[in-house]
Structure 1
């Protein structure tokens, strides 16, 4: 595999992470605090778009598995999806000033649907491409570390650099629009670069067997028990994670009363911790197994989320950054573990079930991500409406009642902590038939440790 593939894979991860992180972090607050939409309506529009998005994911995976072009099965979608995604970012945060009332929320709803379509068109083929690039264990392990590095940089651009820029130019409607243009250009360029740099090593692989129907493909997935266990883990963990992410920008503004520069610094610390922890998590997985490393990461997530409960609002420094540090280390283990275990379940599908359904597996994997995002956004927005959140226009600096501040804190800390514990209990049931025997564990450990050293050096 060419070295440029590692760069292309990291850029693809940067692209999807920057897109979904920016929208997930800033768009709900933008709708309530800059456009003046009621939080119940804003949350409902977001949820409906995510439900549509999630429903499209398995279909996109099924289409990708059966696509045949001279550029490969999945690569063409990286270019088209990346360009559409960049445009959707600009449209989401640059709402025509003349739109009011029904026209305003119709624009918001339509642009959310366009964003969802673009993200699906890029993300599903990108994940499926991970198996098609190489089947070599060493190369694939190293490839997944680059995925986390790229994702971390994309997350940094969306959740650290963007809030810093907002704090300088203004966190109002115009400021969000300018930041969205910058991110949109980066996302579009990322899609084009990943298309140019990646190649499909298994492009000639035959299509899945069976009658070719979507129903038959779903039946095959239901028989992939390791994949179902992984999906259950992700379903529960990400439900809590989404509530946590939705609460953070409201927490810094309405509980701590600090500028968006603090929001940016929180995510900067978290992202650097994600990147710096990769060597540790790869070694832990090599020594104790991928499942056990993922279990350790979920336990650390529970501790990290719960620690936010004890941050003193009057003097949040340096406690918020300590919480962000632990959260980043835990999240680094979660994402590395999810990506590597996902490719294991793809191998299981081909080797044990006799079919290659990488696109379909990727589609369901991302569908759960989006479904939990819809659920988390719905829970948070409805809770805020119930406790009396007050929407506004401009920079959203209006004071909130004590019930709102308490609701934000619970959503930030207690809910995601309990979800992480429950997810860990689900992952205890994960077993991959045909795993290496114990006498081969030492050899696997040495291989994985070598991968970690190579990835760090690169």
Structure 2
């Protein structure tokens, strides 16, 4: 592999991570604390968009598997999806001030649908193209570490730099709008660069003179997916772990504002520490995977996440510093192992599908992979919004109310610590049942440390 493939893969991960992290972290609170939308309505709008997105993922995977263009099978979607994603980011946080009531809800709902469509259009082809970049087992492990690096940079831009900027210019509607425009420019550039740098090899393009196999129906495709037991086990792990993770992420902006009573600069620092640990932990996770196997390393990352989430419950609200940063560091280390393991194991299950079932379903598997991601995000957002509604959270227009009912603190603490810890425990138990039969002695569940880039 050459340097452009590594850089393009990193930039693609940055682009999708910056988009989903910014919306996932800030948009729900933006709706409740700046637009004045009730938490139940805001949660319902978010869940509706994510449910739509989950079904769109399947369609995108099905379509991308059957796309043939002179630019490649997956590359065109990187450009189109990246540009549409930038537009959606600008629209989500720049809401016309004249809108209110049902007109405001309609605007928010439509912009969430545009965002969901853009993310699907970019993310699924990006995941699928990764399998075409190299057939070498160990090269894929190295490639996936760059995906985590890109994801960490995107997460830093959205969850650290953006809150830092909000802390400086103000966390009102105008401040959110300006930050969104800056992120939109970065996302658009990322889409263009990933399209330019990621080149699908000739083997990934269909020869026009070769007879084409008839396209499998949705029913036949899902039958094949159900037969892929390693993939189903991986999705079970991701489903449960990410549902708890979504509750955790949704709660943190409320935790810093309504429990700790600090500015968004502290929120940015929390995610800067978490992102830094995600990056720094990569070499350790790669070596652990090489020593103990990919499955076991992924199980270990689930255990680390469990202890990290429980640490949040032990933080005293009147003396949170530096305990909150220690908890963030632990979360970053565990999450770094989870993301590295998920990406590497996903490509293994794609190979397993082609080896045992005879048809390349990389796009469809990527579609289900992202669909689960969206579904768990919807479930987590819905659970958090219902918890907040149950404990009596009060929405407001501006930068949020000064005081909340006493039960709100308990609800936020349960959401930031207890619920995600339970999810991590269950997910870890699910992953212990994962087993991938090897095609060759080399293709066992091992990894290797990244090597220097070569041309």
Structure 1 residue aligned with 2:452: 454
Aligned CA-pair RMSD: 1.7
CA contact (8 A) 1:158 1:183 kept: yes
Offset, 1:32: 0.2
Structure 2 residue aligned with 1:279: 283
Matches within 5 A, 1:219-298: 219-298=223-302
CA contact (8 A) 2:82 2:187 kept: yes
Pair 1:212 & 2:216 matched: yes
C-alpha spacing 1:276/1:25, structure 2 compared with 1 (3 Å): same
| Secondary structure in 1 matching 2:452 | helix
Pair 1:407 & 2:411 matched: yes
Distance in 1 (CA, whole Å) between partners of 2:214 and 2:110 is: 37
Structure 1 residue aligned with 2:177: 177
Distance in 1 (CA, whole Å) between partners of 2:324 and 2:445 is: 38
Offset, 1:210: 5.7
CA contact (8 A) 1:142 1:454 kept: no
C-alpha spacing 1:436/1:418, structure 2 compared with 1 (3 Å): farther
Offset, 1:211: 4.7
CA contact (8 A) 1:383 1:407 kept: yes
TM-score with structure 2 setting the length: 0.96
Pair 1:98 & 2:98 matched: yes
Structure 2 residue aligned with 1:330: 334
> 5+ residue gaps in structure 1?
none
Offset, 1:277: 0.4
Structure 2 residue aligned with 1:424: 428
1:147-200 Cα shifts (integer Å, max 9, x gaps): 000000000000000000000000001000000000001001100100000011
Number of equivalent positions: 451
Structure 2 residue aligned with 1:346: 350
Offset, 1:434: 2.3
> 5+ residue gaps in structure 2?
none
Matches within 5 A, 1:46-125: 46-125=46-125
Matches within 5 A, 1:357-376: 357-376=361-380
CA contact (8 A) 2:171 2:399 kept: yes
Distance in 2 (CA, whole Å) between partners of 1:133 and 1:71 is: 15
Distance in 1 (CA, whole Å) between partners of 2:308 and 2:436 is: 29
Structure 2 residue aligned with 1:4: 4
Structure 1 residue aligned with 2:127: 127
Offset, 1:205: 5.1
Structure 2 residue aligned with 1:302: 306
Distance in 2 (CA, whole Å) between partners of 1:371 and 1:411 is: 18
TM-score with structure 1 setting the length: 0.96
